[in-house]
């Protein structure tokens, strides 16, 4: 009998959204808050549990375990560290699947394709451009926690590994983030 791998979802949503005019997590896009949409997409793809890392904005998020990053001003790296520590300490998940809150065009089908990639580390690409989600095996949590810093996220970590599976998902999703103010 083969064990089916398990996936914990992570939504990075701690930033203040300077260019956007405020935190993006509570922003309603097509009648749904961005944070709720991100959680729904990860859950539909099979992630359980789903962690949401908040910071500049704090609030309730249905269907997710909310973690507040009080050091959110340090950048995305601090949220990645906190998320992986929580996934490691509170779940038996084989993988963490990390995405950003401001990707309204991400679909559960695209997330599923990344989940099903044959390699251990996998990253979604959109017309060849690296994006989210990023799949990190539990065996790499400590390494990523120890190396991620600033506002870079996992970019340097991914660049240092030759075995990263790049998974094209542009036929299933849009990887564009919301960076402009909704009033622009």
Helices 108-115, 34-44: axis angle to 10 degrees equals 50
**Residue 128 above 50 pLDDT?**
yes
For 36, residues 6+ apart whose C-beta sits below 8 A from its C-beta are 61, 62, 63
How does pLDDT run across 6-43, given as a tens digit for each residue? 999 999 999 998 888 899 999 999 999 999 999 999 99
Mean pLDDT score of the chain, rounded to an integer? 91
pTM: 0.93
Can you give the pLDDT at residue 2?
53
CA pair distance 13, 58, nearest whole angstrom: 10
Q: Domains for the chain: give ranges and CATH numbers.
A: 7-168 (3.90.550.10)
How does pLDDT run across 133-150, given as a tens digit for each residue? 999 999 999 999 998 877
How does pLDDT run across 39-72, given as a tens digit for each residue? 999 999 999 999 999 999 999 999 999 999 999 9
């Amino acid at each position: 009998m083969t064990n089916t791998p398990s996936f914990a979802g992570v939504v990075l949503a701690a930033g203040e959204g300077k260019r956007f005019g405020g935190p993006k997590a509570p922003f309603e896009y097509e009648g749904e808050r961005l944070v709720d949409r991100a959680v729904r997409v990860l859950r539909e793809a099979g992630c359980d549990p789903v962690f949401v890392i908040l910071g500049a904005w704090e609030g309730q998020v249905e269907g997710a375990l909310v973690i507040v990053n009080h050091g959110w001003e340090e950048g995305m790296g601090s949220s990645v560290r906190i998320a992986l520590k929580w996934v490691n300490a509170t779940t038996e998940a084989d993988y963490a699947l990390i995405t950003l809150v401001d990707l309204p065009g991400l679909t559960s089908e695209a997330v599923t394709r990344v989940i099903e990639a044959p390699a251990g580390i996998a990253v979604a690409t959109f017309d060849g451009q690296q994006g989210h989600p990023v799949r990190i095996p539990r065996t790499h949590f400590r390494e990523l926690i120890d190396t991620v810093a600033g506002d870079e996220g996992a970019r340097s970590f991914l660049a240092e590994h030759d075995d990263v599976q790049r998974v094209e998902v542009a036929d299933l999703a849009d990887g564009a983030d919301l960076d402009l103010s909704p009033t622009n």
